[in-house]
Every structure is written in structure tokens, then in C-alpha cells.
Amino acid sequence: MTMAKRKILILCTGNSCRSQMAEGYLRYFAGERAEIYSAGVEVHGVNPRAVAVMKEDGIDISEHTSNHIDEYNGIGFDIVMTVCDNAKESCPYFPTKALKFHRNFPDPAKATGSEAFIDEHFRKTRDLIKDHFRQFTAEHLSKY
């Protein structure tokens, strides 16, 4: 008997960095066990630095799009995950029985300084997201 794929939504403020990286890693770790979506409470476009640091780790998010949460109103999500405090606080009400998870990751787009410093901030956030979603997949998607 095959279990249905879990539908998972990852929410962030602008759907440009953290949620995009999380979507990339969750797609990678979950494979065929889940359908992964990401969205923002605003839409800022996919950040080119996020694309670059993910590519360094072998994950291609260059074709991802930045989506607004309203685009997914008709989808019955099993899991809704927020990856920043702002999204958790301003997340619209979903008429859903979805399990909700939250983890605040630092916003690499707010880093200032040299190009090397900003890139390193993106890498640190990427690595935090990777570790979290590897563990999340093992704990919550292993039976699917």
C-alpha cells in the first residue's frame, strides 16, 4: 500500500531566500514522499545569492519562482512550516488541519558588509536550513 504524498508549504516573508533554500533541501531530502511548495506573505523574487550558495551544495533552485501565499488557497496542505518569525506572526489563517512547524532562521538578505561577508552569511543560513530539513525529513517523513 502506497501512502499519499504529503503536501508541505514553507512560508517566509518574501519567498526569496530562506523559504527557497528550504524548498530546495526538502525536495531533495523528501524525494517522492512529498510535494513541496514555498510562498511568502510578500513576493520579493528569488535572491541570486540564494541560488548561488545552493548551487555550491549541488541543489539547483534557479528555476524556482517567488510565490504569494494566496496562490495556494485551494491546496489542502498536510504541513505548514514557517521559517521566519515575521511569517509566523503575519501568516494568514488557513482553514486547514495541517500540522504547523516553526523555526526562525536568520535573514541572509539583511547582511551588510563586504561581498565575502554577505556570501558567508548566506552560506551559514543555508547550512542551518540544510541541517534542520534533513532532520525534519527523518523525523516526520520517514514513514511515507
12: annotated active-site residue: yes
Q: Single out the catalytic residue among 12, 50, 53, 109.
A: 12
Q: Single out the catalytic residue among 10, 69, 84, 87.
A: 84
For 47, what's the count of Cα atoms within 13 Å in the CB-facing half-sphere?
21
Q: Single out the catalytic residue among 52, 75, 91, 111.
A: 91
17: annotated active-site residue: no
| Catalytic residue set | 12, 84, 91
